[in-house]
Amino acid sequence: MSDRKKLFIKTYGCQMNVYDSERMAETLGGSGYDTTEDAASADMILLNTCHIREKAAEKIYSELGRLKVHKDANPNLKIAVAGCVAQAEGEEIVRRQPAVDLVVGPQSYHRLPEMEEKIREGKRALDTDFPEEDKFEHMPKRPKAARGPTAFLTVQEGCDKFCAFCVVPYTRGAEVSRPVDRILTEARDLVERGVREITLLGQNVNAYHGQGPNGDMTLDQLIWALNDVDGLERIRFTTSHPNDMTDALIAAHGECEKLMPYLHLPVQSGSDKILKRMNRNHTAESYLKVIERIRAARPDILLSGDFIVGFPEETEADFEATMELVRQVRYGQAYSFKYSSRPGTPAAERPLVDQAEADDRLQRLQGLLSSQQYEIQDEMVGKEVSVLFEREGRLEGQMVGKSEYLHAVHVTAPNAKRGDIARVKITNTERNSLGGTLLT
Ligand code: SAM
Ligand code: SF4
């Protein structure tokens, strides 16, 4: 009988957590764990958490309350908390929830094997340091098993921008970029295992400046190096700051064949007063100029963004400036949030705006953003796109994949398989996807 144990990971928050969860699963693989989709049969349940908004952090405490019941029924179950809540509230978690065995911050995942040994001996383990060594360096190489056609690859972590509302600089620490050779090795390895599209990840990915063979390389240079990887067909990156959209990166959008015409470029607000109070270091106009340059380089690019409404001191006029900026840009996709006060950030000191007003603004903004999304989806009808098939659809012979613009597309393609890229003519739109027919 195998003495391998079962690990269930629940991932909250951003794509960087998705990537980290994969790497933690690989690391714990060396300590005798295989992943399972079934929490009830797990020997260890690991929550990879998000601290970006209050609701996200609160969820973790209620989930831990539920897990305590599991553990009462099965005292051998180990409960672990990773991610940004672990980093920000590690000691508080240990104090408040005795069922938790292990708490690990995002910079210490390479220490999981030692920590796992400790909890096996019945002790509790807490590590929320920002160690000098690079965690990815000390994590096991990715195993050679085949995988799906798309993958995330973290190239940069942390942030030095200190927007007044944001916990990232405190939970993920200062900006660090991984060296180019490690990224290329990991990318080639992913391609060997079936990956055709890689999304480069970083909290501030376009500030990337990793060590290359002849000094530091910037994100555009890294993208060009990846463009030469045989078998890799598509490159994306997220998330970017408007101030780090350099001329060379913008030019790459026009010239680099494998770089997809999609850009997530958060602006947060369209009011210069609020942008200043947010410490964003850009104005609405400078953001619009960046957008203009990107569209000049790649006219068909699909733009996405992040918005916060109800930031302290936001008036109706400030909110209207955000609506106006959205009307000018026309986003194909977007994320919008009501401001959430985060302890320890500068904005947390300031009084909240009326919450009913903030809810109303969020609804109005989301209404506008959705109408733009649907208009842009409608405009795709009749156009030809390339679709990378990711999985089988629900209907007989149907495949589902993403276009270069990151739209989900359903196509009848009985002879296609995952990883194929096909030319498709868009015929119809659904709420959050498109339908099309194969072109031969
Ligand atoms: N680095 C990216 C940038 O510069 O915009 C974003 C990183 S953050 C993980 C993702 C998004 O969460 C932000 O763009 C912002 O819109 C939102 N966010 C961050 N802190 C927030 C807060 N305190 N309240 C509401 N939304 C917040
Ligand atoms: Fe947070 Fe992004 Fe601002 Fe950095 S740039 S502080 S990650 S919102």
Please write the tens of the pLDDT for every residue from 26-85.
999 999 999 999 998 999 999 999 999 988 878 899 999 999 888 888 889 999 999 999
Does the structure show a pLDDT above 60 at 1?
no
The confidence band for 430, taking pLDDT boundaries of 50, 70 and 90, is very high
229 contacts 184 by C-beta, under 8 angstroms:
yes
243 contacts 282 by C-beta, under 8 angstroms:
yes
User: Residue 257: what are its φ and ψ, rounded to 5°?
Assistant: -60, -40
Q: To test the ligand 2 pocket, which listed residue (16, 168, 176, 287) has its Cβ within 8 A of the most ligand atoms? A: 168
Q: What is the pTM of this model?
A: 0.95
With tokens 């690391």, the residue in question is 27
**Closest residue CA from atom 10 of ligand 1:** 306
Q: Can you tell me which atom of ligand 2 is nearest the CA of 268?
A: 8
SS3 318: helix
Residue 84 CA, ligand 2 centroid: distance in Å: 14
pLDDT tens for 184-222 read 999 999 999 999 999 999 999 999 999 999 999 999 999
Distance, CA of 323 to CA of 272 (rounded, Å): 13
Measure the CA angle with vertex 12, ends 169 and 121; round to 5°: 90
Closest-approaching ligand to the CA atom of 347: 1
355 contacts 310 by C-beta, under 8 angstroms:
yes
pLDDT tens for 89-138 read 999 999 999 999 999 999 999 999 999 999 999 999 999 988 877 788 88
**Closest residue CA from atom 7 of ligand 1:** 203
- Pairing mode of beta strands 44-49, 5-11: parallel
320 contacts 349 by C-beta, under 8 angstroms:
no
Residue 135, pLDDT score: 83
Q: Can you tell me which atom of ligand 2 is nearest the CA of 306?
A: 8
Measure the CA angle with vertex 182, ends 81 and 136; round to 5°: 15
**Closest residue CA from atom 11 of ligand 1:** 306
User: Residue 62: what are its φ and ψ, rounded to 5°?
Assistant: -70, -35
Q: Can you tell me which atom of ligand 2 is nearest the CA of 280?
A: 3
Query: What does the pLDDT average to over 228-247?
Result: 98
Residue 143, pLDDT score: 72
236 contacts 208 by C-beta, under 8 angstroms:
no
Q: Which residues line ligand 2 (CB under 6 A)?
A: 159, 161-163, 166, 168-169, 203-204, 241
337 contacts 298 by C-beta, under 8 angstroms:
no
DSSP structure class, residue 159: -
With a CB cutoff of 8 Å and minimum separation 6, the contacts of 154 are 16, 19, 20, 136, 178, 200, 201, 202
Does the structure show a pLDDT above 80 at 440?
no
pLDDT tens for 339-357 read 999 999 999 999 999 999 9
Q: Which residues line ligand 1 (CB under 6 A)?
A: 14, 52-53, 165-166, 168, 203-204, 239, 241, 266, 268, 306, 308, 337, 339-340, 342
Q: To test the ligand 1 pocket, which listed residue (304, 308, 339) has its Cβ within 8 A of the most ligand atoms? A: 308
Environment class of 317 (CB within 10 Å of its CB; exposed 0-12, middle 13-18, buried 19+)? exposed
Residue 339 CA, ligand 1 centroid: distance in Å: 9
